[in-house]
C-alpha cells in the first residue's frame, strides 16, 4: 500500500486583515514536495497578500498554516519556517551602491554559504555586470538579480510575485527552467502572475475579486 506523503505546506481557511479590512478569507491550499501552484485573480484580490503571509511578513487573522505538519502559530516555529522560504516581490532590495555580485553574495554569506553567487549570476545571464553597481541595472536585469538569489541561496519554498515582469522572452524561459529544476530537486513554487507562464503539472488557486469598493462609471460628474 502506498502511503501519501505529508504535504509540506497547508493553508486551511486562512484569512488576513490589512488596515482593519479583511483582504483574503477562507483560503485553502496544499503543496507537496516538488509541487507548484499558480495564483491568479484580478488586481487587488489578495495574491501578494497571501504570498507575504506565506513568507511570514503577515500573520493570519484566522485559519491555520502548517509546515511539515506543524501549526506555525506554535512558539518559535515561524522563525524556523522563514528560513525555508524565498519571496521575490515588487521590492527587490537591491542596494544601489553595492556591486551586482555583492547584492547576491551579501545574502549568501548571511546564510553561511559561499561560492554560489557567480554561478547564479552566470545562469541568469548577468555575470558580465558582476562588478558594476546595482544602480546601473535595467528593470529586467534587476529581476534577473533577484532570481539569482534564489539559485545562490537554496531554500525549498519559492514565493514568486509577478516574477516575469521586466523579463524578455529568453529571461522567461530561464525562469521557467529554473522553477522546473527546483521542483525536480523537491523544491516548491507558488507563482502569482497575470501573464501566462509555463509550469508543468501545477495546481491553480484563483482569488475572487474583492467587491468592497463601488465602481463609478467614468465621466459621470
Ligand atoms: N500595506 C497595506 N495596507 C493596507 N491594505 C493593503 C496593503 N497592501 C495591500 N493592501 C490592500 O489589500 C488588497 C489586496 O492587495 P494585494 O496586493 O494583495 O492584491 P493582488 O491580488 O496582489 O493585486 P495585483 O494583481 O494588483 O498585484 C488591496 O485592496 C490593497 O489595497
Which residue has its alpha carbon closest to ligand 1 atom 24? 43
Q: Please give the distance, rounded to the nearest whole angstrom, from the Cα atom of residue 47 to the centre of ligand 1.
A: 8
Q: What pTM does this model have?
A: 0.93
Cα(108) to centroid(ligand 1), Å: 30
Per-residue model confidence as pLDDT tens digits over 137-180: 999 999 999 999 999 999 999 999 999 999 999 999 999 999 99
Confidence tier at 214 by pLDDT (50, 70, 90): very low
SS3 content of the chain, % helix, strand, coil (to 5): 30, 25, 45
Q: DSSP label at 71?
A: E
Residues in the chain: 221
| Fold (CATH) for 1-84+155-208 | Rossmann fold (3.40.50)
Cell of 194: 497575470
Q: For 5-62, how does the pLDDT look when each residue is reduced to its tens digit (9 = 90+)?
A: 889 999 999 999 999 999 999 999 999 999 999 999 999 999 999 999 999 999 999 9
The answer to whether residues 136 and 130 touch, using CB atoms and an 8 Å cutoff, is no
Question: Is residue 52 within 6 Å of ligand 1 at its C-beta?
Answer: no
- Grouping H, G, I as helix, E, B as strand and the rest as coil, residue 134 is helix
- Render 77-114 in DSSP notation, one character per residue: HHHHHHTTEEEE-S-----SSSBHHHHHHHHHHHTT--
For the chain, the structural domain boundaries read 1-84+155-208, 92-154
Residue 49 sits at φ, ψ, to 5 deg, of: -60, -45
Ligand 1 in contact with 13 (CB < 6 A)? Answer: no
| C-alpha cell read off for 132 | 558594476
CB atoms within 10 A of CB 171: 19
Amino acid at each position: 500500500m502506498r502511503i501519501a506523503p505529508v504535504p509540506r505546506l497547508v493553508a486551511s481557511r486562512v484569512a488576513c486583515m490589512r488596515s482593519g479590512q479583511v483582504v483574503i478569507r477562507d483560503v485553502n491550499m496544499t503543496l507537496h514536495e516538488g509541487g507548484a501552484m499558480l495564483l491568479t485573480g484580478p488586481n487587488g484580490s489578495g495574491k501578494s497578500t497571501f504570498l507575504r503571509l506565506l513568507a511570514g511578513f503577515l500573520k493570519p487573522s484566522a485559519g491555520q498554516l502548517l509546515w511539515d505538519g506543524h501549526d506555525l502559530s506554535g512558539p518559535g516555529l515561524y522563525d524556523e519556517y522563514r528560513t525555508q522560504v524565498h519571496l521575490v516581490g515588487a521590492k527587490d532590495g537591491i542596494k544601489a551602491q553595492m556591486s551586482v555580485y555583492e547584492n547576491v553574495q551579501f545574502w549568501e554569506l548571511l546564510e553561511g554559504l559561499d561560492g554560489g553567487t557567480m554561478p547564479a549570476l552566470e545562469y541568469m545571464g548577468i555575470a558580465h555586470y558582476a562588478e558594476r553597481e546595482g544602480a546601473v541595472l535595467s528593470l529586467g536585469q534587476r529581476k534577473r538579480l533577484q532570481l539569482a538569489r534564489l539559485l545562490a541561496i537554496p531554500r525549498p519554498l519559492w514565493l514568486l510575485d509577478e516574477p516575469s515582469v521586466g523579463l524578455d522572452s529568453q529571461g522567461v524561459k530561464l525562469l521557467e527552467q529554473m522553477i522546473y529544476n527546483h521542483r525536480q530537486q523537491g523544491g516548491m513554487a507558488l507563482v502569482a502572475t497575470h501573464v501566462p507562464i509555463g509550469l508543468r503539472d501545477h495546481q491553480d488557486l484563483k482569488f475572487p475579486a474583492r467587491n468592497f469598493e463601488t465602481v463609478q462609471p467614468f465621466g459621470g460628474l
